[in-house]
Amino acid sequence: MKLGSLLPSLPPGSRLLLIRLRSLGDIVLLTPSLRLLKEWRPDLRISVLIESRFHDLLRGNPHVDEVLSPGEGGGIRQAVARLRLVRELRSRRLSLCINLHGGPASTFLARASGAQWKAAFAHFRKQSSYDFAIPDARTILGQAVVHTAEHQASAFFWLGLPRRPVPASELFVSDAARDDWRARLPSLGVPSGRPYAILQPSALYPTKEWPAERFAQLGEYIEKEAGIIPIFSCGPGESSRLDRVERASVRPIRRLEGLKLATFIAAISGAALFAGNDSGPAHSAAACGVPLVVIFGSSNSRIWGPWVQPERSSSSAAAAPFRIVQNEYECNPCRGDRCYRFDRPECILSVTFEQVRSAVEAVLKGVSPQALTANKG
Protein backbone atom coordinates (compact mmCIF):
# COMPACT_ATOMS: atom_id res chain seq x y z
CA MET A 1 0.00 0.00 0.00
CA LYS A 2 1.31 3.48 -0.88
CA LEU A 3 2.72 5.50 2.00
CA GLY A 4 0.12 7.86 3.48
CA SER A 5 -2.80 6.23 1.69
CA LEU A 6 -4.09 3.87 4.39
CA LEU A 7 -6.55 6.13 6.20
CA PRO A 8 -7.94 7.75 3.00
CA SER A 9 -8.46 4.32 1.43
CA LEU A 10 -10.52 2.84 4.27
CA PRO A 11 -14.10 2.09 3.19
CA PRO A 12 -16.95 4.24 4.57
CA GLY A 13 -17.92 3.25 8.09
CA SER A 14 -14.63 1.51 8.82
CA ARG A 15 -13.85 0.71 12.45
CA LEU A 16 -10.63 1.91 14.05
CA LEU A 17 -9.16 0.81 17.37
CA LEU A 18 -6.75 3.19 19.12
CA ILE A 19 -4.81 1.75 22.06
CA ARG A 20 -3.59 4.30 24.64
CA LEU A 21 -3.95 2.42 27.94
CA ARG A 22 -2.88 5.23 30.28
CA SER A 23 -2.10 7.77 31.82
CA LEU A 24 -4.28 10.80 32.56
CA GLY A 25 -2.10 13.34 30.75
CA ASP A 26 -1.43 11.12 27.73
CA ILE A 27 -5.14 10.44 27.24
CA VAL A 28 -6.02 14.12 27.53
CA LEU A 29 -3.34 14.86 24.92
CA LEU A 30 -4.87 12.26 22.60
CA THR A 31 -8.10 14.28 22.31
CA PRO A 32 -6.72 16.65 19.62
CA SER A 33 -6.05 13.65 17.36
CA LEU A 34 -9.55 12.33 17.96
CA ARG A 35 -10.98 15.66 16.82
CA LEU A 36 -8.76 15.72 13.73
CA LEU A 37 -9.90 12.24 12.70
CA LYS A 38 -13.62 12.81 13.18
CA GLU A 39 -13.69 16.24 11.57
CA TRP A 40 -11.91 14.82 8.54
CA ARG A 41 -13.92 11.59 8.28
CA PRO A 42 -17.07 11.56 10.44
CA ASP A 43 -17.95 8.14 9.02
CA LEU A 44 -15.10 6.38 10.80
CA ARG A 45 -16.13 4.40 13.89
CA ILE A 46 -13.48 5.08 16.52
CA SER A 47 -12.97 2.85 19.56
CA VAL A 48 -10.39 3.84 22.19
CA LEU A 49 -8.92 1.26 24.53
CA ILE A 50 -7.91 2.73 27.91
CA GLU A 51 -7.93 1.53 31.50
CA SER A 52 -11.35 1.83 33.11
CA ARG A 53 -10.14 4.33 35.74
CA PHE A 54 -9.65 6.83 32.91
CA HIS A 55 -12.92 6.28 31.04
CA ASP A 56 -14.44 9.50 32.35
CA LEU A 57 -11.87 11.45 30.35
CA LEU A 58 -13.58 10.42 27.11
CA ARG A 59 -17.21 10.20 28.21
CA GLY A 60 -19.29 12.66 26.25
CA ASN A 61 -16.54 13.23 23.70
CA PRO A 62 -18.32 13.47 20.33
CA HIS A 63 -15.21 12.29 18.51
CA VAL A 64 -15.23 8.85 20.16
CA ASP A 65 -17.78 6.16 19.35
CA GLU A 66 -16.74 3.67 22.00
CA VAL A 67 -14.45 3.46 25.04
CA LEU A 68 -13.19 0.00 25.94
CA SER A 69 -11.30 -1.44 28.90
CA PRO A 70 -8.31 -3.80 28.50
CA GLY A 71 -9.40 -5.91 31.46
CA GLU A 72 -7.90 -5.19 34.85
CA GLY A 73 -7.14 -7.07 37.99
CA GLY A 74 -4.83 -10.02 38.07
CA GLY A 75 -4.59 -13.72 37.48
CA ILE A 76 -7.60 -15.59 36.16
CA ARG A 77 -9.86 -12.55 36.43
CA GLN A 78 -7.67 -10.50 34.12
CA ALA A 79 -7.17 -13.38 31.70
CA VAL A 80 -10.93 -13.95 31.39
CA ALA A 81 -11.57 -10.22 30.89
CA ARG A 82 -8.97 -9.99 28.15
CA LEU A 83 -10.25 -13.03 26.34
CA ARG A 84 -13.73 -11.50 26.45
CA LEU A 85 -12.32 -8.25 25.06
CA VAL A 86 -10.54 -10.08 22.24
CA ARG A 87 -13.82 -11.75 21.23
CA GLU A 88 -15.53 -8.36 21.23
CA LEU A 89 -12.81 -6.78 19.13
CA ARG A 90 -12.83 -9.57 16.57
CA SER A 91 -16.61 -9.33 16.28
CA ARG A 92 -16.24 -5.69 15.23
CA ARG A 93 -14.19 -6.59 12.14
CA LEU A 94 -11.74 -3.77 12.66
CA SER A 95 -10.13 -2.21 9.62
CA LEU A 96 -7.21 -0.67 11.50
CA CYS A 97 -5.61 -0.91 14.95
CA ILE A 98 -3.10 1.77 15.98
CA ASN A 99 -1.05 1.10 19.09
CA LEU A 100 -0.05 4.42 20.65
CA HIS A 101 1.04 2.89 23.93
CA GLY A 102 3.68 0.19 23.46
CA GLY A 103 4.45 -2.44 26.07
CA PRO A 104 3.45 -6.10 26.29
CA ALA A 105 -0.25 -5.68 27.12
CA SER A 106 -0.96 -3.26 24.27
CA THR A 107 1.10 -5.38 21.86
CA PHE A 108 -0.87 -8.50 22.75
CA LEU A 109 -4.19 -6.71 22.33
CA ALA A 110 -3.17 -5.18 19.00
CA ARG A 111 -2.02 -8.54 17.68
CA ALA A 112 -5.17 -10.31 18.92
CA SER A 113 -7.57 -7.60 17.74
CA GLY A 114 -8.16 -9.22 14.38
CA ALA A 115 -7.73 -5.86 12.62
CA GLN A 116 -6.99 -6.02 8.91
CA TRP A 117 -4.12 -3.57 9.38
CA LYS A 118 -2.02 -2.88 12.47
CA ALA A 119 0.32 0.05 13.04
CA ALA A 120 2.63 1.25 15.81
CA PHE A 121 5.62 3.53 16.25
CA ALA A 122 8.82 1.99 14.94
CA HIS A 123 10.56 2.17 18.32
CA PHE A 124 7.99 -0.14 19.93
CA ARG A 125 9.03 -3.73 20.53
CA LYS A 126 7.65 -6.73 18.64
CA GLN A 127 7.52 -4.97 15.28
CA SER A 128 6.59 -8.27 13.66
CA SER A 129 3.13 -7.77 15.18
CA TYR A 130 2.45 -4.79 12.91
CA ASP A 131 1.98 -4.09 9.23
CA PHE A 132 3.17 -0.48 9.46
CA ALA A 133 6.08 0.96 11.47
CA ILE A 134 5.43 4.66 12.07
CA PRO A 135 8.65 6.74 12.01
CA ASP A 136 9.80 9.13 14.71
CA ALA A 137 7.44 12.10 15.04
CA ARG A 138 10.31 14.54 14.54
CA THR A 139 10.92 13.03 11.13
CA ILE A 140 7.25 13.10 10.18
CA LEU A 141 6.75 16.71 11.27
CA GLY A 142 10.21 18.04 10.42
CA GLN A 143 10.62 19.51 13.89
CA ALA A 144 13.49 19.23 16.34
CA VAL A 145 11.10 19.32 19.31
CA VAL A 146 7.66 17.72 19.24
CA HIS A 147 4.98 18.21 21.87
CA THR A 148 3.25 15.04 23.08
CA ALA A 149 -0.03 16.13 21.46
CA GLU A 150 1.80 16.55 18.15
CA HIS A 151 3.61 13.25 18.65
CA GLN A 152 0.33 11.35 18.83
CA ALA A 153 -1.15 13.28 15.91
CA SER A 154 1.92 12.55 13.79
CA ALA A 155 0.98 8.86 13.64
CA PHE A 156 -2.28 9.72 11.93
CA PHE A 157 -0.62 12.23 9.60
CA TRP A 158 1.82 9.54 8.47
CA LEU A 159 -1.05 7.12 7.85
CA GLY A 160 -2.83 9.61 5.60
CA LEU A 161 -4.76 12.11 7.71
CA PRO A 162 -4.36 15.46 5.93
CA ARG A 163 -1.89 17.49 7.92
CA ARG A 164 -3.09 20.66 9.63
CA PRO A 165 -2.42 22.43 12.95
CA VAL A 166 -3.09 20.20 15.95
CA PRO A 167 -6.03 21.66 17.89
CA ALA A 168 -6.17 22.12 21.64
CA SER A 169 -6.87 19.27 24.01
CA GLU A 170 -10.44 19.15 25.31
CA LEU A 171 -12.61 17.48 27.93
CA PHE A 172 -16.40 17.35 28.08
CA VAL A 173 -17.97 17.64 31.53
CA SER A 174 -21.38 16.08 32.11
CA ASP A 175 -24.23 17.86 33.86
CA ALA A 176 -24.32 15.07 36.43
CA ALA A 177 -20.66 15.62 37.30
CA ARG A 178 -21.19 19.37 37.60
CA ASP A 179 -24.18 18.83 39.88
CA ASP A 180 -22.18 16.42 42.04
CA TRP A 181 -19.40 18.99 42.39
CA ARG A 182 -21.79 21.85 43.21
CA ALA A 183 -23.30 19.74 45.97
CA ARG A 184 -19.85 19.26 47.53
CA LEU A 185 -18.77 22.90 47.55
CA PRO A 186 -20.52 23.89 50.82
CA SER A 187 -18.78 21.09 52.72
CA LEU A 188 -15.45 22.54 51.57
CA GLY A 189 -16.35 25.95 52.93
CA VAL A 190 -16.79 27.58 49.52
CA PRO A 191 -19.77 29.97 49.68
CA SER A 192 -22.01 30.31 46.65
CA GLY A 193 -20.62 32.88 44.26
CA ARG A 194 -17.04 32.78 45.56
CA PRO A 195 -14.30 31.85 43.08
CA TYR A 196 -11.93 29.07 44.01
CA ALA A 197 -8.56 27.77 42.82
CA ILE A 198 -7.36 24.19 42.53
CA LEU A 199 -3.78 23.78 43.77
CA GLN A 200 -2.08 20.47 42.92
CA PRO A 201 1.00 19.76 45.10
CA SER A 202 1.51 16.15 43.97
CA ALA A 203 3.26 14.72 40.92
CA LEU A 204 4.71 11.45 39.72
CA TYR A 205 8.23 12.00 41.10
CA PRO A 206 9.85 14.20 43.79
CA THR A 207 11.84 15.86 40.97
CA LYS A 208 8.52 17.29 39.79
CA GLU A 209 7.08 18.32 43.19
CA TRP A 210 7.40 21.93 44.30
CA PRO A 211 7.90 22.10 48.11
CA ALA A 212 4.78 21.77 50.25
CA GLU A 213 5.57 24.87 52.31
CA ARG A 214 5.60 27.00 49.16
CA PHE A 215 2.22 25.59 48.13
CA ALA A 216 0.94 26.54 51.58
CA GLN A 217 2.32 30.05 51.06
CA LEU A 218 0.73 30.22 47.62
CA GLY A 219 -2.67 29.22 49.02
CA GLU A 220 -2.47 31.94 51.67
CA TYR A 221 -1.47 34.51 49.07
CA ILE A 222 -4.26 33.59 46.64
CA GLU A 223 -6.90 33.81 49.35
CA LYS A 224 -5.65 37.00 50.99
CA GLU A 225 -4.51 39.01 47.98
CA ALA A 226 -6.70 37.72 45.14
CA GLY A 227 -9.85 36.80 47.08
CA ILE A 228 -9.84 33.30 45.61
CA ILE A 229 -10.45 30.33 47.89
CA PRO A 230 -7.67 27.70 47.60
CA ILE A 231 -8.58 24.02 47.42
CA PHE A 232 -5.70 21.52 47.49
CA SER A 233 -6.10 18.35 45.42
CA CYS A 234 -4.27 15.08 45.03
CA GLY A 235 -4.69 11.74 43.31
CA PRO A 236 -5.26 8.28 44.76
CA GLY A 237 -2.62 7.34 47.33
CA GLU A 238 -1.22 10.87 47.48
CA SER A 239 -2.88 12.21 50.65
CA SER A 240 0.53 12.51 52.33
CA ARG A 241 1.27 15.44 50.01
CA LEU A 242 -1.75 17.28 51.36
CA ASP A 243 -0.67 16.40 54.91
CA ARG A 244 2.63 18.17 54.28
CA VAL A 245 0.88 21.27 52.95
CA GLU A 246 -1.45 21.30 55.95
CA ARG A 247 1.46 21.08 58.40
CA ALA A 248 3.03 24.08 56.69
CA SER A 249 -0.19 26.12 56.65
CA VAL A 250 -1.39 28.54 59.30
CA ARG A 251 -4.83 26.90 59.31
CA PRO A 252 -6.45 23.64 58.12
CA ILE A 253 -6.58 23.44 54.33
CA ARG A 254 -9.49 22.54 52.09
CA ARG A 255 -8.71 19.07 50.76
CA LEU A 256 -9.96 17.51 47.55
CA GLU A 257 -9.29 13.78 47.47
CA GLY A 258 -11.10 10.54 46.80
CA LEU A 259 -13.42 11.96 44.13
CA LYS A 260 -14.61 10.11 41.06
CA LEU A 261 -12.60 11.28 38.08
CA ALA A 262 -15.67 12.84 36.45
CA THR A 263 -16.35 14.94 39.56
CA PHE A 264 -12.69 15.91 39.84
CA ILE A 265 -12.71 17.15 36.24
CA ALA A 266 -15.89 19.10 37.00
CA ALA A 267 -14.10 20.68 39.96
CA ILE A 268 -11.20 21.71 37.76
CA SER A 269 -13.49 23.04 35.03
CA GLY A 270 -15.23 25.33 37.50
CA ALA A 271 -12.06 26.84 38.95
CA ALA A 272 -10.99 30.44 38.47
CA LEU A 273 -7.38 29.25 38.54
CA PHE A 274 -5.33 26.05 38.50
CA ALA A 275 -1.80 26.13 39.87
CA GLY A 276 0.25 23.01 40.32
CA ASN A 277 3.06 20.71 39.31
CA ASP A 278 3.50 19.19 35.87
CA SER A 279 0.87 16.46 36.12
CA GLY A 280 -2.24 14.97 34.57
CA PRO A 281 -4.55 17.43 36.38
CA ALA A 282 -2.61 20.31 34.82
CA HIS A 283 -3.35 18.90 31.35
CA SER A 284 -6.98 18.52 32.40
CA ALA A 285 -7.13 22.18 33.42
CA ALA A 286 -5.73 23.21 30.04
CA ALA A 287 -8.30 21.01 28.30
CA CYS A 288 -11.08 22.67 30.31
CA GLY A 289 -9.94 26.16 29.36
CA VAL A 290 -9.02 27.09 32.95
CA PRO A 291 -6.39 29.79 33.61
CA LEU A 292 -3.35 27.93 34.85
CA VAL A 293 0.20 28.08 36.15
CA VAL A 294 2.29 24.92 35.80
CA ILE A 295 5.52 24.42 37.75
CA PHE A 296 8.14 22.29 35.99
CA GLY A 297 11.17 20.49 37.37
CA SER A 298 12.87 17.54 35.69
CA SER A 299 10.66 17.19 32.61
CA ASN A 300 10.72 19.09 29.32
CA SER A 301 8.06 21.81 29.30
CA ARG A 302 8.31 22.09 25.51
CA ILE A 303 7.13 18.49 25.25
CA TRP A 304 4.80 18.31 28.27
CA GLY A 305 3.52 21.87 28.65
CA PRO A 306 -0.21 22.72 28.47
CA TRP A 307 -1.49 22.17 24.94
CA VAL A 308 -3.55 25.31 24.53
CA GLN A 309 -4.17 26.77 21.09
CA PRO A 310 -6.06 30.04 20.43
CA GLU A 311 -8.08 28.64 17.53
CA ARG A 312 -10.83 26.45 18.96
CA SER A 313 -14.15 25.48 17.52
CA SER A 314 -17.31 26.90 19.05
CA SER A 315 -18.05 23.55 20.72
CA SER A 316 -14.95 23.58 22.92
CA ALA A 317 -13.73 25.77 25.75
CA ALA A 318 -12.18 29.15 25.08
CA ALA A 319 -8.41 29.31 25.30
CA ALA A 320 -7.28 30.49 28.72
CA PRO A 321 -4.13 32.33 29.80
CA PHE A 322 -1.34 30.19 31.20
CA ARG A 323 2.24 30.43 32.41
CA ILE A 324 4.97 27.85 32.77
CA VAL A 325 7.48 28.35 35.59
CA GLN A 326 10.76 26.50 35.14
CA ASN A 327 14.42 27.13 35.85
CA GLU A 328 16.64 25.64 33.18
CA TYR A 329 19.54 23.34 34.03
CA GLU A 330 21.99 21.66 31.65
CA CYS A 331 20.81 18.27 32.91
CA ASN A 332 17.18 19.03 32.09
CA PRO A 333 15.27 17.05 30.97
CA CYS A 334 16.06 13.79 32.69
CA ARG A 335 14.24 10.54 33.49
CA GLY A 336 12.97 12.17 36.67
CA ASP A 337 12.82 9.11 38.91
CA ARG A 338 15.67 10.69 40.89
CA CYS A 339 18.15 13.54 40.57
CA TYR A 340 21.16 12.35 38.56
CA ARG A 341 23.38 15.40 39.15
CA PHE A 342 22.76 16.92 42.57
CA ASP A 343 22.13 15.65 46.07
CA ARG A 344 18.57 16.93 45.70
CA PRO A 345 16.43 17.96 42.70
CA GLU A 346 17.56 21.55 42.31
CA CYS A 347 15.49 22.03 39.15
CA ILE A 348 12.19 22.02 41.07
CA LEU A 349 13.51 23.23 44.43
CA SER A 350 15.07 26.32 42.84
CA VAL A 351 11.67 27.63 41.73
CA THR A 352 10.87 30.41 44.18
CA PHE A 353 7.57 31.52 45.61
CA GLU A 354 8.11 34.92 43.98
CA GLN A 355 8.39 33.30 40.54
CA VAL A 356 5.11 31.43 40.95
CA ARG A 357 3.35 34.42 42.49
CA SER A 358 4.38 36.57 39.52
CA ALA A 359 3.06 33.92 37.13
CA VAL A 360 -0.26 33.77 39.01
CA GLU A 361 -0.57 37.55 38.91
CA ALA A 362 0.13 37.58 35.17
CA VAL A 363 -2.46 34.88 34.50
CA LEU A 364 -5.15 36.52 36.61
CA LYS A 365 -4.66 39.78 34.73
CA GLY A 366 -5.88 37.93 31.66
CA VAL A 367 -9.06 36.71 33.35
CA SER A 368 -12.28 38.67 32.94
CA PRO A 369 -13.73 40.21 36.13
CA GLN A 370 -16.87 38.12 35.63
CA ALA A 371 -14.84 34.94 36.00
CA LEU A 372 -13.64 36.12 39.41
CA THR A 373 -17.05 36.98 40.82
CA ALA A 374 -18.69 33.54 40.74
CA ASN A 375 -17.47 30.01 40.55
CA LYS A 376 -18.44 27.96 37.50
CA GLY A 377 -18.83 24.71 39.37
| C-alpha–C-alpha distance, residues 318 and 321, integer Å | 10
Does position 73 have pLDDT exceeding 90, yes or no?
no
The predicted-structure confidence for 160-201, as pLDDT tens digits, reads as follows: 999 999 999 999 999 999 999 999 999 999 998 899 999 999
Rounded to two decimals, what is the model's pTM?
0.92
Side chain identity at residue 338, one-letter code: R
Q: Does domain 175-372 have CATH number 3.40.50.2000?
A: yes
Domains 6-158 and 175-372 share a fold: yes
**More confident site: 56 or 366:** 56
| 217 HSE (CA, 13 A, CB side) | 11
Beta strand pairing call for 15-19 and 96-99: parallel
| Sequence spans of domains, the chain | 6-158, 175-372
One of 3.30.465.10, 3.40.50.2000, 3.30.1360.170, 3.30.2000.10 is the CATH number of 6-158, namely 3.40.50.2000
Q: Which is nearest to 198 in space by CA: 268, 293, 287, 262?
A: 268
| C-alpha–C-alpha distance, residues 111 and 128, integer Å | 10
| 330 HSE (CA, 13 A, CB side) | 2
| 3 HSE (CA, 13 A, CB side) | 6
72 — pLDDT class (breaks 50, 70, 90): confident
Mean pLDDT of 236-258: 95
